[in-house]
Structure 1
């Protein structure tokens, strides 16, 4: 462990103490992994040699009049505060556009703070002071004459890899989130598990946050693709819908958790959707038809 690693982790523990003091009620701060702080402490004490997982948690905020409740999803990289933390705010009091505007403003505020300083407490206070203004903003603009509203945004595609995708409730959550956010792509279940989503960048990022919380081990975003668009985004889609894939499995499918998907069939599926280059990115090997 380097001196910088130790300093960062010690500062993270210090900030967690500050946050628990600011929010003394148990329901105000909820750790994704209840043992994460203890594991960091043991790592610093030299009891455990393996690098502990990130400290990830949710802060549940209320405005002074308690009219607006929000959830702040926080993930602390091991080298925070030398690097920025990952923050995302959501609230049932805001629509998707308002939520997007709030998170962009929060990111702008965070970038104004001095790098290397603890900032979660500052972000929490900023949100409590400013969140109410976003529930009354972001009214949709009137549609211009001609019936088509011209927008400029970022079309995004994410390729997500997991060691496996088995559980029915997880598969349902992936399908429901993709449908709700108007994303197309697929979910390859089994071992390995692969998810591709495409749509507006903000929707893709929201999907990624939704399925990662609570903490899902053995999952990573392997590759992303982005394009600036003005108008109809559908012309950039490689997939017409979002579907669940199950190719011929080797093993006792449904009886044991050791089955594997047929990657040859999966490569042909990617090839059909003009995405065969992704195979090597996902698995680190080349494939032939």
Structure 2
């Protein structure tokens, strides 16, 4: 099954090597989570089912989300919510990837509808900044989607993967809300907007970032993928956002030396 070239893609082949070493008993260190993508052709439309398997799978739900370049943001959100709800309805002790694929093959056509191109009416929109906290951000597919969608919507900020995960987005209210609705529709263990800030005046100094990038603050605790909080605080300070650290994490920051 899925033996044709390009149908099944493992995002990082080194993870497979780590898994084999662990299964063979040559190490007790847990391997990273497995990231894979299943490429499906359904009604002549290409769908990508991106999957992140934790160590607890199948007792824990896999992180999944679906992409199709012809679906708009709302269609993507509806599709990902429905497939997430379907996976959640299945028995947790049984593998569910094939069931999810079958569901997608049976239902994908319901989300492909021709849309009339809408013209956006330009107006003076309020600028906002959202600080989004996640239990973890490991999936490389999700991380790519977070960045790609931010670039598409001209949103600035950053994404810090690992455990915990932190995302900052800033831009117009409509663009940030579109981004947030699409991203939160993916399957997450826990993700929420912890703090929102709004530009109260016409100040040009509200936006703190020039682009949107992924930021990795390396920590020696590689096993658990924890980021260096001191380096994060320094990064926030460099962008005049150091004040937000205590509000997000509940502790005073300590700069890395």
Q: TM-score, normalised by structure 1?
A: 0.55
Q: Label 1:174 to 1:86 Cα distance change in 2 as closer, same or farther (>3 A).
A: closer
Q: Runs ≥4 in structure 1, deviation > 6 angstroms?
A: 137-141, 173-176
Q: 2:253 matched to which residue of 1?
A: 285
1:196 equivalenced with 2:196 (yes/no): no
Distance 2:65 2:112 in 1: 16
1:43 aligns with 2:22: yes
1:181 aligns with 2:181: no
Find 2:46's aligned residue among 69, 72, 78.
69
Cα shift at 1:90: 0.4
Name the CA distance, whole Å, in 1 between partners of 2:195 and 2:110. 31
Query: Helix, strand or coil for the counterpart of 2:79?
Result: helix
Conserved in 1, the CA contact under 8 Å of 2:76 and 2:182?
Answer: no
Question: Quick one: structure 1 residues 284 and 110, their matched pair in 2 at CA, closer, same or farther if it must change by over 3 Å?
Answer: farther
Q: Partner of 2:132 in structure 1?
A: 158
Equivalent pair of 1:157/1:204 in contact (CA under 8 Å): no
Instruction: Give the distance between the partners of 1:205 and 1:102, measured in 2 at CA.
Output: 12
2:99 is the alignment partner of 1:122: yes
**Aligned residue for 1:215?**
none
The 8 Å contact of residues 7 and 38 in structure 2, kept in 1 or not, is answered as: yes
Contact between 2:131 and 2:167, CA under 8 Å: does it hold in 1? no
Unaligned runs of 5+ in 2: 119-128, 135-144, 161-165, 171-175, 213-230
- Asked if 2 retains the 8 angstrom alpha-carbon contact of 1:157 and 1:226, the reply is yes
Q: Which has the larger radius of gyration?
A: 1
- Compute the displacement of 1:102 (Å): 0.5
| Alignment map for 1:1-289 (pairs within 5 Å) | 22-63=1-42, 65=43, 67-136=44-113, 157-158=131-132, 177-181=149-153, 183-185=155-157, 196-197=168-169, 199-200=176-177, 201-205=180-184, 224-226=192-194, 239-240=206-207, 242-244=209-211, 263=234, 266=237, 269-270=240-241, 275-278=244-247, 281=249, 285-286=253-254
Unaligned runs of 5+ in 1: 1-21, 142-154, 161-172, 189-193, 210-221, 246-259
Q: What is the alpha-carbon distance in structure 1 between the residues aligned to residue 10 and residue 195 of structure 2?
A: 36
Q: CA deviation at 1:32?
A: 0.8
Aligned partner of residue 57 in structure 1, secondary structure: strand
Q: Structure 1 residues 128 and 88 mapped into 2: Cα distance closer, same or farther (>3 Å)?
A: same
Report the RMSD for the aligned CA atoms in angstroms. 4.4
TM-score by length of 2: 0.61
Seen in structure 2, the aligned counterparts of structure 1 residues 88 and 176 have a Cα distance that, compared at 3 Å, is closer
Greater relative contact order structure (CA < 8 Å, 6+ sep): 2
Shift in Å, 1:184: 4.5
CA deviation profile, 1:134-160 (whole Å, cap 9, x unmatched): 01288899xxxxxxxxxxxxx953268
Determine the structure 1 residue equivalent to 2:141.
none
Give yes or no for contact 2:36–2:51 (8 Å, CA) kept in 1. Answer: yes
